[in-house]
Amino acid sequence: MSAMTDNPMVRLGFAGLGTMGSYMAANLARAGYPLTVWNRTPGRAQELLELGAREASTPADLARSSDIIFLCVTDSPQVESILFGPNGVSEGIQSGSLVIDCSTISPTRAREFADKLDAIGVGMLDAPVSGGSEGARLATLTIMVGGELEHFERASAVLSNIGRTISHLGPLGAGQWAKAVNQIILAGTYLGVAEGVTLAIKAGLDVRKVMEALAGGAAGSWVLENRSGRMIDDDYPIGFKIALHRKDLGIGLELARDVGAVLPVSALAASFEDGIIAQGHGDDDNSALARSIRILSGL
């Protein structure tokens, strides 16, 4: 049963039609929700318009047409600008509405934004996602949610149209903390798979067969299954930009300093990513971390 059967009057807004957001918004449109969309750069909404969405001229216009507003943008300044800048969401939103921020930002900034929205009678959830462009396209994302339980319960039916694993993890900011942990774990996993692929290549093995064999054992992971092929081919088409992962790692490392956690593997990954970005590969997929390991190994 679709979510629209449960509540056919919920009007959705979606701001941020990048690699992830465009797929997420499309899945909401296909679910039958009345959908209004907005993107900073024009020309990203055509497919959504064909699915029945309306394009807003400003975030304020988006807010006037929406009961629940999604944001999926790059960083805290963009979230702040869309919510509170000139012609921002706060200028058009009605009391009782709900904002769901699927961006990856610091928990501190998320709480600041939530407090400002609360002052005008608007609820907020921080709901960063994981699963890459594949997960966004297939609506199988993992969604890590922080905020008041009543807001989560209000949003859960809508979220089920874009994600498979949807978890309420605590108060506002908990979702961003969980996303930081996610990105820290991924940093080590990408490095481990890159080193394994490189070792297998240097040993002259049939690397694809080795990776297939390992996928069913203790070394198996999403990264091994979905990204080892890119590392073998040394070709990294976009799934999730390495520049964005570096931004996320920065958040994780800052939070670690705040609470006194030592993350040496993540610090190493961050230094490798800095080098890759400096070489002009910031728009490559995150699996491009393998570039550093391959180069150091003479490949």
CA distance linking residue 151 with residue 33, whole number of Å:
18
Q: Each residue of 41-59: pLDDT tens digit?
A: 888 899 999 999 999 999 9
- What is the helix (H) or strand (E) element at residue 165, kind and residue range? strand 163-168
Per-residue pLDDT band at 8 (split at 50, 70, 90): low
Q: 177-296, which class in CATH?
A: mainly alpha
Average pLDDT score over residue span 200-222 = 96
Residue labelled with tokens 């391959």: 294
pLDDT for res 3: 37
pTM (predicted TM-score):
0.91
Collapsing DSSP to helix, strand or coil, 197 comes out as helix
Catalytic residues: 179
CA distance linking residue 237 with residue 226, whole number of Å:
12
Q: Where are the domains of the chain?
A: 3-171, 177-296
On whether the 3-171 domain is CATH 3.40.50.720, my answer is: yes
> Who's near 250: CB < 8 A, 6+ residues apart?
270
Q: Give the chain's count of helices (H) and strands (E).
A: 15, 9
Q: Each residue of 171-190: pLDDT tens digit?
A: 999 999 999 999 999 999 99
pLDDT for res 238: 85
Q: Each residue of 232-244: pLDDT tens digit?
A: 999 999 888 999 9
